[in-house]
Structures are given as structure tokens and as C-alpha cells.
Structure 1
Amino acid sequence: MVVRLSRHRLLTLLCGVLTALTLVTPTLTAPAQAVANRPDAAAGWLARQLVDGERFEVVFDGVAYPDPGLTLDAVFAFAAAGVADDPAARALAWVTRPDIRDGYLGDGTTEAYAGATAKLTLAVQVRGGDPTAVGGLDLVTRLRSLQAPDGRFTDRSAYGDYSNAFSQSLAILALARTATGVPPTAGEWLAGTRCPDGGYPVLPAQPTCVPDVDATALAVQALRAAGRPADATAGLNWLVSVQRTDGGFTNAAGTANANSTGLAAQALRDGGRPLAWARARSFLVGLQVGCAGVPADRGAVDFDGGTLDRDTLNRATTQAVLGLTGVGYPRLTAVGADPDAPTLPCR
């Protein structure tokens, strides 16, 4: 199924290039029973949620549309946990189908989206593929063509430019794996968006610089990959300063959740902050559905520990796996991953 352009852009706005942050807080009840740190079980649960074993979908106005972005997030989660390699292969094969790929990336002429291009490039690299030859498309060349003279990676579209800190960071992380590396201006541009307190905003050049946990977590990993450790350290220090006493991190609505905490935890371990990572990981473990949960939900990671919300469960689990393992984007690889999707062992 090919997503029409207008719907594609609307869904991009709703879901974001990386992962949509859920801002609705469910009615709170007792949290799911805590389990031992089991990112493999979380990734295994996630693999079993793939539609037709190959993709995720998003529902809009009662209609289900393919969601390549979330599907790629799952590919990263499978690599981080080192499991579900067969589902990961099917998922990437689905995203790189020409009809799905071109609906996600744009046609490359009248429309081309930096974040989507960077994300797919990185996923192909993580899976050990050649991003310069993806069904006849050179993703690296297209990605580099979207860099503006000031270093920012921007979208080319009549529908507007949706590029932000996520797309810039993903572009840097993808290009860091290429032979020619990251253009210095790319790291300079991202570093230049930093707020006075050290955090990074989603969007640059706002009247008031408002740092964001998710954007900062991705930015610090990209800045380290771009050879700018001092700029990354400022972001890591800010993350530590806003970590809650329970180890969690909040989104823009002030809700401590698995999405923000997962990304922050990943950045903290990758950036050499093991104690802060351990606290964040403990928060995530407390959100994982254990053996007291419904069998079909065991292993999944809830968004915020309230009433289990299945509309947010897939997205929460993808990013929670990154935090539970602490494997940074620069180090993600599918090499040696187990082909199967494990379950949470319960008696």
C-alpha cells in the first residue's frame, strides 16, 4: 500500500521523524509488576506485534496506514537486544520495497525528507547492508544532497521543511559510518543549537530555547560521533540534572515515560554515565509487564506505568529496549543477533 503524499506528511507531523511522543496521560493505576532487566523479552514481544510479520501501522481517522518510521525503530531495538534477527530482516525488506520506500523518503526530486533518509540509511548500515545500493538508490548521496551550506540537513518539499534536531542527529550518525565521515559543518550546526543550560531543543532558533530530553539524548550521541565531545558533555550534564529521583525522564508534558527515559538511558550509558544509566534502567524495568500480566503483554514496556495503553505500547517498547541495553546508536549492529523472538520466562 502506498501512502499518498498529503497523508504521508500529515502522519509525519503526528508521529515525528524519530518517534512520536505521547502527551496524553492515562488514568493511573498500580504499575505492572516489575521484572528483571529483560530487553530480549521486550524485543521479542515487539517482534510478535509486527503486522504480517513485517511492519507496524498507525491508525488515523479509523484507517490503518503503514508506519515505516516505527518499523525502523523496531529494527534498531532488535539489534540493540541482539534478538529477532529474522523479523528485523523482514521489516527492513518491507521498508526498502520501492513503493514503501519512496512514499517514506519522497521521490528525491520534488520531495526528499532528511530525517527519513537518514533513518533508513542508518538502519541499512546497522543490518550490515550497503546504503549506496538500496534497490538502485544511493541513500548516502541523497542524504548529502540535502545538506544546506550552513550544515543543516533540510527537507525538500512543497509541503514544508520538517527537519529538526532528530533529523540532524540521525544524518550525522549515518554519515559517521561512511568512509568520508561527517561533514564538519553538520556537527557545528547541531552544536550551535544548544540552549544556555546545556540541553538541546527539538527546533532551533526559537524565541526561547527550550531543551528537550529526547532531542538531547539523540544529539549527544551524534555529537560524539561527529568528534565534538565537549558539546556532547554539556548535553549529558543537562540530562543528569533533569533526571528524576526515581530514575525516569519526562516529556514536554511533564510525564515520566518509557520513550524519553529509554533514549536518555541509551545516551547516558553511551556517554559514560553508568550510575545515571542504571537509575534510568531501573525505572524502565519497573514499567515492563511481568509474569503477573496478561500473557500476550508479557515483556512489553508500558508508557508510564498507568493503565496499560496499547496505543502507545509499541512505541514505548522500541525506545525502552534501547535504554535497557544502553547500546548507543553508533555501536548498534545486527551481527550475531539471534534469529528468534524470545518470550518472558514465566512458570
Structure 2
Amino acid sequence: MVVRRSRHRLLALLCGVLAALTLGTPMAAAAERAGGSRPEAAAGWLARQLVDGERFEVVFDGVAYPDQGLTLDAVFAFATAGVADDYGAGALAWVTRPDIRDGYLGDGTTEVYAGATAKLALAVQVRGGDPTDVGGVDLIARLRSIQSPSGRFTDRSAFGDFSNAFSQSFAVLALDRTATGVPSTAAAWLAGTRCPDGGYPVLPDQPVCTSDVDATAMAVQALRAADRPADAAAGLGWLVSVQGTDGGFANAAGAPNANSTGLAAQALRDGRRPLAWARARAFLAELQVGCASAPADWGAVDFDGGAFDPTTAPRATAQAVLGLTGIGYARLSAAGAGPGAPVPACR
């Protein structure tokens, strides 16, 4: 009888642990009934932060400038959470407006930015659009036009070349969804930037190759999409090796945070590292604002768990949603996403 009861207790404990690791983990019992899962609550908060329901802005010296990159991060977050589809449509419509689009991508002749072009192309694909005709602009042809013989996608600009691991990874992910696929040289170039420890740097050709969590999370997803599993596995192994005891990840700044952990968690689940993903997800859950805070903040994800900072929370929340679901960029789709921004019903 004692043995049987002990087994029952152990089974209950294991079931509780597994339940805590599922995607539908609620902020609270009441939140699950009204606002849904953690990713849904986070995406709902993010949608409500959009200026005029369509964009994010960055304020510098009292002047507001469009933030197309963060707006696209929100588009990805809404798709992975499966909510706020109407906000996602409005956000993409704003980014693809000719004046907003060209300010982000460049004019296509004297200025072409690889990372921006690839990221917008991927966002259009995620939402089921045609990246070869975005207001008359063929993003795929433009992206291919700036690939160097080495396989690297480089910026064309009078201000210099700002391309990096993110640019290359987004380019590989976007081209993977096209009929002709990823040029082998593009994937080979990215794989060739790997550091001796297995991780990937933000910038190649540095005197000392320094692996970066964010860059590695992006690179392994791109390399998996490009069918280079060994190169991706090396990066995933490095990510697991640098994961903190609390499950979080730190970037070059040195502090575990939602941004780096969100990207790493996404890569870990996509790369079939479920235990490391579960630990990273638990870290993100601890950063999510719950019912004890101000109602306007419910569902947001704080950057590092300190005093809630509304200026860093939108980007932290957008990237945290990716980690909370663990759906990789290569599989991301807005198909079936519902409208509206879920609001947790806290008591």
C-alpha cells in the first residue's frame, strides 16, 4: 500500500512538471480562461503597444522615427502566437508602404540593405504574401543581386556595409521558401563563420572569433533550413553549453535577458533540444508580468527582471514570444491566426 501511494505521488508530480512545460501554461487560472496561454497574453500586450495599431517608433531627441525592424518582430510574434492577425496585417501594410519600405530597404539602386530586405521578404512569406511583388518591388531578385561570389549577402550603400550573421541568416531563411531554394554558397559561407567552440559570431573575419548567443540562434535555424545539420548541431551544442543555471541566456552585455533567451529558446526547440528549451522557457515565464502588476502591463515580458521598463519591453516581448512557443522561423506561418489582442482576466 505504501509503495502504491508513493508511485501515485510520483506520477502526480511528473504530470505536474510536464504540464508546467506545455505551450499553454497560463499566467494564472483566470488568465487562461480569458486571455489564453503565455504566448497569447504576451502577443496581446504587444499588439496594444502599436502606435495607431500599425507600427512601432523609436524616439530620439524628442523626434519619433519609424522602427520597421521592431514592427516586423511583432509580425513574427503575432504569427507564432496565433493571435492579433488583424494587427499583423496592419503592421505589414505599414512597413510595405513605399515611403516606409524604401526608408528601410534602401532605394534599390544606390542603397540596398541585405538584412532589411531579407527580413521583410520573410515577413511577407510568413503572412502568405508574394515577396517577388511587394508594391512592385521584387525582394527576392533584389536580395540575390547583392550576393557576392563568396556567398555572403552584403549591403550596397555609400555609408558602408553593415551586413552580419543576422543578414545572412534571414537571407537563407527567406530564400529557402522560394522555388529555387538557398544558393549552396550562401549556406556554406554562413557555416564557414563558425568559431572553434561551435558558436557563431555576429561579425565574421574578426581577429578573435567570439561566439554570440543571438547570432548563433539565428545561424542554426538558417543552417537547419539549408540542410546543413552538422553545422547547426555544433551551434546548438554551444548554446546548451552556455545556458545559465536559471535557464537564461546572456548576450555580449553579460546579463541574462528576454531577448537573447527568446531567440535561443526558439532555436533549441526547433533544433530538438527539448530540455534546454523547457529551462529557457521557464526563465522567460519568470520575466512575464503577471496579475500583481499594473493592468496595462499584464502579459508583457520584461527585459531582465528588474524594474519594468516600457521602453525595452516591446522588443523583449516580441522575441520572448518566439521562445515561449519555440516555433522556428523556417516553420513560422500566420495561417489560422485569429484576430484580436488577448487580455488576461486577472482577479
Per the normalisation by structure 1, the TM-score is: 0.90
| Match in the other structure for 1:245 | 245
In the alignment, does 2:263 pair up with 1:263? yes
Partner secondary structure for residue 64 of structure 2: strand
1:251: Cα distance to partner? 1.4
1:179 partner amino acid: A
In the alignment, does 2:81 pair up with 1:89? no
| Match in the other structure for 2:9 | none
| Match in the other structure for 1:319 | 319
| Match in the other structure for 2:290 | 290
In the alignment, does 2:128 pair up with 1:128? yes
| Match in the other structure for 1:35 | 27
Alignment of 1:15-54 (within 5 A): 35=27, 38-54=38-54
Alignment of 1:109-128 (within 5 A): 109-128=109-128
| Match in the other structure for 2:58 | 58
1:343: Cα distance to partner? 1.1
Whole-Å separation in 1 of the counterparts to 2:299 and 2:102: 33
Alignment deviations for residues 109-139 of structure 1 (CA, whole Å, 9 cap, x no partner): 0000000000000000000000011111111
1:149: Cα distance to partner? 0.3
1:108: Cα distance to partner? 0.5
1:63: Cα distance to partner? 1.3
| Match in the other structure for 1:138 | 138
Whole-Å separation in 1 of the counterparts to 2:188 and 2:343: 44
Alignment of 1:112-191 (within 5 A): 112-191=112-191
1:345: Cα distance to partner? 2.5
1:340: Cα distance to partner? 1.1
1:59: Cα distance to partner? 1.2
Whole-Å separation in 1 of the counterparts to 2:111 and 2:338: 37
1:257: Cα distance to partner? 0.1
| Match in the other structure for 1:13 | none
Whole-Å separation in 2 of the counterparts to 1:248 and 1:227: 28
Whole-Å separation in 2 of the counterparts to 1:345 and 1:204: 47
1:81: Cα distance to partner? 0.3
The 8 Å contact of residues 35 and 286 in structure 1, kept in 2 or not, is answered as no
Alignment deviations for residues 78-102 of structure 1 (CA, whole Å, 9 cap, x no partner): 0010000000000000000000001
The 8 Å contact of residues 132 and 138 in structure 1, kept in 2 or not, is answered as yes
Whole-Å separation in 2 of the counterparts to 1:242 and 1:271: 16
| Match in the other structure for 2:22 | none
Whole-Å separation in 2 of the counterparts to 1:171 and 1:293: 40
Partner secondary structure for residue 311 of structure 2: helix
Whole-Å separation in 1 of the counterparts to 2:312 and 2:58: 11
1:309: Cα distance to partner? 1.0
Alignment deviations for residues 43-82 of structure 1 (CA, whole Å, 9 cap, x no partner): 0000000000000001112211010010000000000100
| Match in the other structure for 2:305 | 305
In the alignment, does 2:225 pair up with 1:233? no
| Match in the other structure for 1:334 | 334
1:344: Cα distance to partner? 1.7
Whole-Å separation in 2 of the counterparts to 1:45 and 1:228: 37
Partner secondary structure for residue 143 of structure 2: helix
Per the normalisation by structure 2, the TM-score is: 0.90
1:298: Cα distance to partner? 0.3
Partner secondary structure for residue 263 of structure 1: helix
| Match in the other structure for 2:203 | 203
Whole-Å separation in 2 of the counterparts to 1:135 and 1:195: 40
| Match in the other structure for 1:14 | none
Whole-Å separation in 2 of the counterparts to 1:345 and 1:202: 41
Whole-Å separation in 1 of the counterparts to 2:317 and 2:217: 17
What is the RMSD of the two structures over their aligned residues, measured on CA atoms? 0.9
1:310: Cα distance to partner? 1.2
Whole-Å separation in 2 of the counterparts to 1:136 and 1:49: 30
Report % sequence identity: 81
1:253: Cα distance to partner? 1.3
Whole-Å separation in 2 of the counterparts to 1:35 and 1:284: 12
Runs of 4+ in 1 over 4 A off after TM superposition: none
| Match in the other structure for 2:4 | none
1:260: Cα distance to partner? 0.1
2:27 partner amino acid: V
1:35: Cα distance to partner? 3.3
2:139 partner amino acid: L
Gaps of 5+ in 1: 1-33
Greater RCO, CA 8 A, separation 6+? 1
